[in-house]
Amino acid sequence: MPLRARSKGSRGQILPLFVLCLTAILLMSSLLLDASMALLMRRADQSTADAAALAAANVIQTSGSIRTCSATVGGTPRSDIVAAAKASVHTNLPGYNLNNVDVTCPAADPFGTSYDNFAVRVSLSSNSPGFFSKVVGINAFAVSTTATAFNGQQAGAKWSVVELDPYNSGWSNGKQGCPSVLFSGGPTVTFDGSVHVDSKCPAGSGGSMGTNGNSATITFNNGGNAYLSGGYAPGPLTMIYSPPGPSGPKVNQPQIGDQLDITQPSGLAVVCDRSKPKCNTGFTPDMSTFSSPFSVGAGTNTILSPGIYEGGIQLKSSARAFMKPGVYILDGGGLDLNASSALYSVNSGFSSANPAWTPATWKTVDCLPGACGVLIFNTGTASGAPSAKLSQITVGAGGSLGLRAYAPGAPGNNVVNTTYENLVIWQSKAPVDSSSYQQPIISLGGGGSFDVTGTVYAPSAEVQMLGGSGGGGGNSLDLTIQFISWDLSIQGNSSFHFYYQSNAFAKPMDYGLVE
């Protein structure tokens, strides 16, 4: 057959093929268009879910609430949290079916880390209608989004002690952070948690942690250890590990800094009008003020109320003072317990400072968990003040201290703020130490009874645990206490046991989307 004849006969074959290809292209374009519409809906729903989760998380810490997502971990979310989430969805997507808004309280993140009942999850589900895709039997595309927000206290590392002195080689001897943690006088110390020291002091200069030449025995339980940003020059210091394992402290570790980093209240000297009975301190609400200084006379008993103590609080010899729940601001003058005096936190219903009162039933009757607790905030002194000692916290010879940490839900509490939960003593961060200035020392000790639970937070000050705290002659002192401070000095021939309970210590607050 001639070539021309063959070509003429095949001309119409391309048309059906073109029609089929065009149909497929149009069908794929239609599906792509419907899928794009579903993707746009999902983006809008995700933004709405994010906003709803944050709105619900805002309600978690509402004053007067249980301050968690639900009454029990993983339980049904509070009604006000659900209402806040749905109101946010309605604002951002007015036509959205609120029956498709699912609000839950997740127990943990995808990696298994507990949210401690401070997280709320909002899930949205809807359908993006199919138009062209109906041709192939797809009537709608399912669209679902989830957002999780957190508003509460983070679970932190298991630290019994964190020291923040970074090492200052140009400062005078004794202020360089060499060592930042000092064991003096032969104490026996047990830590149930680990110790972290930010000081980069090299081993040749004394190291981050050490002794002053006297023997000391340190035991780390539960796999704990000392993590030092500098070197280690142990001298006669003996370390024991239970269970056995580490060969010694971890040296040259990264500095971790102040992970708690709580913002302190407004400057008192600036915002307080001393002519008024109340004073705005940055704490909420305004607080009552007491005369300067507040002194409890020798041999007397006094019940203290929370507020601002201008010039601090002083207990004379054999005096006893009982602190009702709340926040106590020492605006200069500090806290001074003289010989054989005693200071105890008590329930709000404690009404009689009975001379026959003894510490025997303190924890079981007069200071019950959740119903008793104080935060002592010490403003310290301004740089260049005549004597920093005038504003330090001191428990003198034979002095007794029995304190539970601040509990925001305690009846009668004058301040309700979970940011300060489990803080017991807090000394202002400013002014920080320098080559010419040293903050007032927090000195705890003296041979009397010492029973303190919570976090001692003094990010710019040295804390001293003196020999005889809890009894001299090697008597054991059990402490459910955590130190976050500049330096730490443990002195004297006594036995100290630092118990670790994560729910008894302060944790940093966090807020925002986490999933």
pLDDT digits (tens), the chain, 515 positions: 454 444 555 555 676 665 566 555 555 655 566 556 667 777 888 888 999 999 999 888 775 667 789 988 888 999 999 999 999 999 999 988 999 999 999 988 777 777 888 899 999 888 766 555 555 556 556 778 999 998 876 665 678 899 999 999 889 877 899 999 999 888 888 998 889 999 999 999 999 999 887 788 999 998 889 999 999 988 888 899 998 888 889 999 989 888 787 776 654 443 344 444 445 555 655 677 787 788 888 888 899 999 888 888 999 988 999 999 999 988 888 899 988 899 999 999 887 655 566 778 888 888 998 899 999 999 866 444 444 446 889 888 778 888 999 998 898 888 777 778 889 999 988 878 888 888 888 988 766 677 888 999 999 999 998 765 432 223 345 568 888 999 999 988 778 888 887 777 777 666 788 88
Tell me 452's DSSP state.
Answer: E
Structure tokens, 482: 């955590």
**CB-based burial label for 348 (10 Å; 0-12, 13-18, 19+):** middle
How many whole angstroms separate alpha carbon 160 and alpha carbon 481? Answer: 7
Q: Pairing state of beta strands 216-221 and 400-403?
A: unpaired
How open is the CA angle 315-316-322, to the nearest 5 degrees? Answer: 35
How many whole angstroms separate alpha carbon 460 and alpha carbon 433? Answer: 6
Amino acid letter for position 360:
A
How many C-alpha atoms does 227 have within 13 Å on its Cβ side?
A: 20
How many whole angstroms separate alpha carbon 316 and alpha carbon 304? Answer: 15
**What is the pLDDT, as a whole number, of residue 234?**
84
- The pTM score is 0.73
How many whole angstroms separate alpha carbon 429 and alpha carbon 171? Answer: 19
**Gap between the terminal Cα atoms of the chain:** 73
Find where tokens 């200084």 sit: 293
How many whole angstroms separate alpha carbon 213 and alpha carbon 145? Answer: 63
Rg (CA), the chain: 32
**What is the pLDDT, as a whole number, of residue 24?**
57
**What is the pLDDT, as a whole number, of residue 461?**
92
Local structure of 338: helix, strand or coil: coil
Structure tokens, 203: 């081993």
Instruction: With CA atoms as reference, report the closest residue to 485 among 405, 384, 393.
Output: 393
